[in-house]
Amino acid sequence: MNEMMEEFLKDTRQGLAGLEEKLRVFISAPSEELVSLFLKAFQALKKEARDLNLSKIESIADAALLVLDRIGAGAGEVTADNVALLKDCFSALRENLDALDKTGHEAPVPQADLTAQTPPRAETGSEPGRSETSTGAAAMSLNDVAALLVQLDAENLSGCRRLGETLQELAGSHANEEVAKRLREAGSKLLALADSGGDNPDAVLQEVASAIEDATQGEELEELAAAPEPPEVIELTLPADADLELMGEFVTESREFIAEAESALLSLEVDPDKMEAVNTVFRAFHTIKGTSGFLGLKPLTELAHHAESLLSKVRNREIHFSGGYADLALRSIDTLKGLVEQVDHATRGKAMVLPAGYQDLLKLLKRADHERFPENMAEAPPDSMRVGDILVAAQKADREKVDQVAAQQGDEPIGVALVRSKAASLTDVAKALRAQQRIAAGEKSSESTVRVRTERLDRLIDMVGELVIAQSMVAQDATLNAGTHHELGKKISHAGKIVRELQDLSMSMRMVPFRATFQKTARVVRDLARKSGKIVEFDVKGEDTEIDRNMVDHITDPLVHMVRNAVDHGIEPPDEREKLGKPSSGLISVKAFHSGGNVVVELSDDGRGLDRDKIIQTALATGLIESDKGLADVDVYNLIFAPGFSTAAEVTDVSGRGVGLDVVKRNVDALRGRIEITSSPGVGCKFSLRLPLTLAITDGMQVKVGDEYYIVPTINIQVSFRPSSSALFTVARRGELVMLRGELMAMFRLHRLFDVKGAVEDPTKGLLVVVGDGNRRCALLVDELLGQQQVVAKSLGRGLGKVQGISGGAILGDGKVGLILDTMELVSLARQVTSGAEKVELEPAGVTAAQG
């Protein structure tokens, strides 16, 4: 369970205890104030449950709100039934919280009885004059008609008449007059064709199809995107003869296929004609269907089969991938993902249930599916690139007629010539052209890989870490360093090189790209933009940048939270942006790259930016600060990471509750990372996350300060030197500075920062090690450099907590413990010193440890 869920459970339990006490007071002495209190509490609960995809808890909150709405509006008295319903809501909520805490899932108890007893909410906000059979229903029927129309033979007069009459009926019930007019015209053409035929009936059918497509533009299958009612929970079981090892491999492979398919579906929304993406999604559904069928996983097989059929229609260009079809495909991916996770749970001995909305989704997929094109048309041999050959192979044209037309076609395209000479129908030629495009596109070759369980990989990394420590101990052994075993020294040096290569190779095996994480954020942007009525473009760069696999899970949730905030609070609505002279569509960019041994992830938007004054007002009002005097922008912006901090005037179901960013900060701190914010009002905001490349093995320079040893990450060291007295300066209220090649930088005496006795205090007799973080740097005073070595980074443990300036510890070659310096934090402190702020001193390490 992630930190956000744990925080939700903790806060909700505390709030529930207080509300139950208020409920007892309300039963004996009802009041408007308590009704208002309950309303606010359940509204916040509903929105946060929706944010965390807790559908059961959301439905409980909605049921409570229905009762409270009636009581508050005076539509019903505080009757025994109302009180009983509220008690049921409280009990159901506590039951779900307990289940969520124990199993990580909501209680598998349907809430249908609870919601069925609640009185209906008064109808509000409905548009006058809009009948139930208008836009949504008509759009669905129109797509059904369009699907049948493409398959219709021009000589089938009764079919033309039936479809024409259907279109006329739809025109009579449609609320949009312009759409109704187009439908009437299309129906009239079909009826005329049925009555008198025509010189070119295929062209008439093509005209009618175009008219229907134009009429349904913007309305395509909207109701397919509607969320279904929560179904009854259905428990599943694995086949009795299930092979758990095969099931585990299936889960791993399916997750990869689903991730690829989701990314391809999102790209299809931008470019519906991108055949490579269509093929990727189709292959994913097809492969999962086949494997799940072999393993006896019927629900997965059935869903993948119908989803594959939908993608087959897109691939054959029978339907256009947009609107409701796109939503339906994405819902299929989500449900398939849920089914795969349920299989994973079952292999671990946990209960396996059918995901919510499964049955309704199958119904929608079956409605969207229809009679397929002839299979032999789509399966023309790969070397048959010519349209005529494809038609002959599909038995849709005669070879002699095709050769005759080809000999006489001149400059006219062969497809047009075949239709004009009646050697093939327009519909068949169109199918052949699409088949030709698929053949030309080809299939992507798959990369050969060997799957290894993550537990084995982690064990390998641990063993390599122990090997690094052992090799370091041998290399620094006093006997070897005496200089009497030269040959042994050479062999140990050679072994050290092999260990280093092994370490590099093993670490590269644990590195994974950001691609999957960015795919999740892309989906979040897409869904939230549609939900909020905003137009948002999402730009991704550096998705192939790699980071330690163990860090990915910790960075995904913070990134998603910041993206949600950017869409909800940062990007303005289209009309507001146009008034400000901005494009109607907002832009959110995510970029990942390596910098100085770290991974940097930048999230930026071109929205409102952070409101400095509003942040200060909120901080003053909540007692977070006593005065804003002397606060730099960076200090003000960092206030938003305080627990419970929010400047939102209105709480939405996406953000604004004051939770989330504090968890983001804790997650990043736990990874020894740092967040920086830059913002410009009306222009936009940028969050920069700087994280270490890995939390495991680090190349470091060992330095000595007094009797203590420290490790400075080698990749952050720029230069070391012994300064002259003329290069040293002490500036009032700004601390000590040193001049290097014409540049002033802050100088830190490590023995003062960490309260070390017996260290060199004169910089001219010690060494200054310059460390940098991007374009910023500072100098650290040490006694001496002891040499470079690889160390296995370990956390200091919960007992010590966070020690400023220290990122972790490592076992040195002589068995002693060396502390690893957090150069990013030291450089950040240096920036405060050199920018004119008050002198910043760290607490002694012992004091910090005691407080932690």
pLDDT tens per residue across span 376-410: 344 434 344 577 777 777 667 777 788 777 777 66
What pLDDT score was predicted for residue 200? 64
Cα separation, 509 vs 228, in Å, equals: 42
Torsion on CA atoms 24, 28, 33, 36, rounded to nearest 10 = 50
What is the pLDDT confidence band of residue 352, given thresholds at 50, 70 and 90?
confident
What pLDDT score was predicted for residue 589? 93
What pLDDT score was predicted for residue 562? 87
Query: Out of 480-489, 496-505, 566-575, 655-664, which region has the weakest mean confidence (pLDDT)?
Result: 655-664
Under 8 Å between Cβ of 294 and 310: no
What pLDDT score was predicted for residue 443? 41
pLDDT at 622 over 50: yes
Mean pLDDT, rounded, for 91-104: 81
Q: Give the residue extent of every domain in the chain.
A: 3-117, 135-219, 235-368, 375-441, 454-510, 512-692, 697-851
Mean pLDDT, rounded, for 493-511: 82
pLDDT tens per residue across span 209-254: 666 655 654 343 343 333 334 444 566 677 777 778 788 888 888 8
pLDDT tens per residue across span 42-65: 888 887 887 777 878 888 888 888
Question: To the nearest whole number, what is the mean pLDDT of the chain?
Answer: 74
pLDDT at 426 over 90: no
More confident residue, 731 or 656: 731
pLDDT at 372 over 50: no
pLDDT at 501 over 70: yes
Query: Out of 342-351, 352-361, 786-795, 830-839, which region has the weakest mean confidence (pLDDT)?
Result: 830-839
Read off φ and ψ for residue 730, nearest 5 degrees.
Answer: -120, 115
What is the pLDDT confidence band of residue 659, given thresholds at 50, 70 and 90?
very low
316: three-class secondary structure by DSSP: coil
Strand 784-792, strand 697-705: pairing: antiparallel
Mean pLDDT, rounded, for 362-371: 68
pLDDT tens per residue across span 763-775: 999 999 998 766 6
CATH code reported for the domain at 3-117: 1.20.120.160
**Helix, strand, coil % in the chain, rounded to nearest 5:** 55, 15, 30
Phi-psi domain of 327 (left: phi exceeds 0; alpha: psi -120 through 50; beta: other) = alpha
What pLDDT score was predicted for residue 379? 40
Sheet with 674-680: strands ordered across: 536-541, 586-595, 598-605, 684-692, 674-680
What pLDDT score was predicted for residue 136? 35
More confident residue, 521 or 27: 521
In sequence order, which residues have a C-beta less than 8 Å from that of residue 144 and are 6 or more positions away?
Answer: 367, 370
Query: Out of 178-182, 727-731, 796-800, which region has the weakest mean confidence (pLDDT)?
Result: 796-800
Q: Rounded to an integer, what is the distance from CA 606 to the centroid of its chain?
A: 20
Cα separation, 151 vs 149, in Å, equals: 5
The DSSP output letter for 119 is P
pLDDT at 510 over 80: no
Query: Out of 180-189, 283-292, 461-470, which region has the weakest mean confidence (pLDDT)?
Result: 180-189
Query: Out of 130-134, 609-613, 779-783, 808-812, which region has the weakest mean confidence (pLDDT)?
Result: 130-134
State which fold the 235-368 domain adopts.
Four Helix Bundle (Hemerythrin (Met), subunit A) (1.20.120)
More confident residue, 649 or 446: 649
Under 8 Å between Cβ of 380 and 393: yes
More confident residue, 587 or 405: 587
Whose CA is closest to 334, among 58, 312, 342? 342
Whose CA is closest to 792, among 507, 491, 490, 481? 507
Among residues of the chain, what percentage have pLDDT more than 90?
A: 3
In sequence order, which residues have a C-beta less than 8 Å from that of residue 295 and are 6 or more positions away?
Answer: 239, 242, 243, 246, 247, 250
Count the Cβ atoms, other than its own, within 10 Å of residue 777: 21
pLDDT tens per residue across span 145-202: 654 554 455 555 556 776 777 777 777 666 666 667 777 777 787 777 777 666 666 6
What pLDDT score was predicted for residue 70? 67
Under 8 Å between Cβ of 263 and 519: yes
Is CATH 1.10.287 the right assignment for the domain spanning 454-510? yes
Query: Out of 137-146, 250-259, 819-828, which region has the weakest mean confidence (pLDDT)?
Result: 137-146
Mean pLDDT, rounded, for 682-697: 81
Mean pLDDT, rounded, for 412-433: 71
50: three-class secondary structure by DSSP: helix
State which fold the 512-692 domain adopts.
Heat Shock Protein 90 (3.30.565)
Under 8 Å between Cβ of 778 and 744: no
Whose CA is closest to 138, among 115, 110, 171, 91? 171
Q: What is the DSSP string of 482-494?
A: TTS-HHHHHHHHH
Mean pLDDT, rounded, for 637-656: 66
What is the pLDDT confidence band of residue 40, given thresholds at 50, 70 and 90?
confident
> Hey, do 3-117 and 235-368 end up sharing a CATH topology, with the first three levels equal?
yes
State which fold the 697-851 domain adopts.
SH3 type barrels. (2.30.30)
Residue type, 140: M
